[in-house]
Structure 1
């Protein structure tokens, strides 16, 4: 095998491995920090079975804002103050509580669980236009007066929260 063929094959395999590795992670994964709530000491001291409680706190990550967009016929670009995207998540929780002898002789449980959900936001932005038009040939290259324009770009909030309620044997 020639060295150029080996180099081409190595570059191809490296590209395929990078593409497979990039698609292996879920696109909607939320980076969270688990927060366990230790209740074992209270259970041991009181001699009672207590609920188990755990949570997840998402880590917000700011994104890069879209810069101003230049539009023909305007002196000031659109989105003078751009919207800042921030992605993170809603916190998740898991609660399991015992139900003694409700459904049988053993301890049964009821559980409520909410998973950390993706949350995408955009901060409000501002767009405005000057009180002059762009210079035109009709007025010998001079701009004409016009009414100024100001607009507020509305904030955006997108998420899909979900919860599960379950019952079953044991805690």
Structure 2
């Protein structure tokens, strides 16, 4: 093979390998929660009885992009000197199924509790500052006027909607 053919073939194979690696990595990056099972199978076999099954979901925090500074007419500094950082995550989830003995009727043999992972939206605290001078004043030969400095803390935000389900059923 000629050296140019080898170079072209190597470039094509490199691109194909990169595309295949990106296709494999995409589903893992798209996961919002990580399941955490609690293995109790060995205890069930050693004790000879049915034990509850339990599992949890741990959310992965995802930082967002902060809003940029907003310039307001009449101020020397932007409105938000230190912007708020948004972080999207979730509250952990829990799943529990436990056997229930001696319940009247054959339809209800297990009790279950599901607490699904719910979304959580947060914004960190921010800072708003203003300089002790006004904008240049054309009536004052272009010089700024003095004023009292301003400082403020933008409060953090926390939003979530948790929920839970409790029910009876036939199987685990």
Q: Which TM-score bucket, shorter chain as reference?
A: 0.7 to 0.9
Pairing 1:153-164 to 2, within 5 Å after superposition: 153-164=154-165
In structure 2, what is the Cα distance between the partners aligned to 1:50 and 1:68?
56
Q: Check the 8 A contact 2:108/2:168 in 1, yes or no.
A: no
Q: Check the 8 A contact 1:30/1:89 in 2, yes or no.
A: no
- 1:81 paired residue number: 82
In structure 1, what is the Cα distance between the partners aligned to 2:44 and 2:113?
20
In structure 2, what is the Cα distance between the partners aligned to 1:139 and 1:151?
29
CA RMSD, 1 decimal:
1.6
Pairing 1:8-47 to 2, within 5 Å after superposition: 31-47=32-48
Q: CA deviation at 1:105?
A: 5.8
- 1:10 paired residue number: none
Pairing 1:77-156 to 2, within 5 Å after superposition: 77-104=78-105, 108-156=109-157
Could you tell me the TM-score, scaled by structure 2's length? 0.79
Q: Check the 8 A contact 1:100/1:107 in 2, yes or no.
A: no
Gaps of 5+ in 2: 1-29
Q: CA deviation at 1:98?
A: 0.7
Could you tell me the TM-score, scaled by structure 1's length? 0.79
- 1:20 paired residue number: none
Structure 2 residue 64 is the aligned partner of structure 1 residue 63: yes
In structure 2, what is the Cα distance between the partners aligned to 1:137 and 1:107?
82
**CA, structure 1 residues 30+90, in 2 after alignment: closer, same or farther (shift >3 Å)?**
farther
Q: CA deviation at 1:106?
A: 8.1
**CA, structure 1 residues 30+85, in 2 after alignment: closer, same or farther (shift >3 Å)?**
farther
SS of alignment partner, residue 71 of structure 2: coil
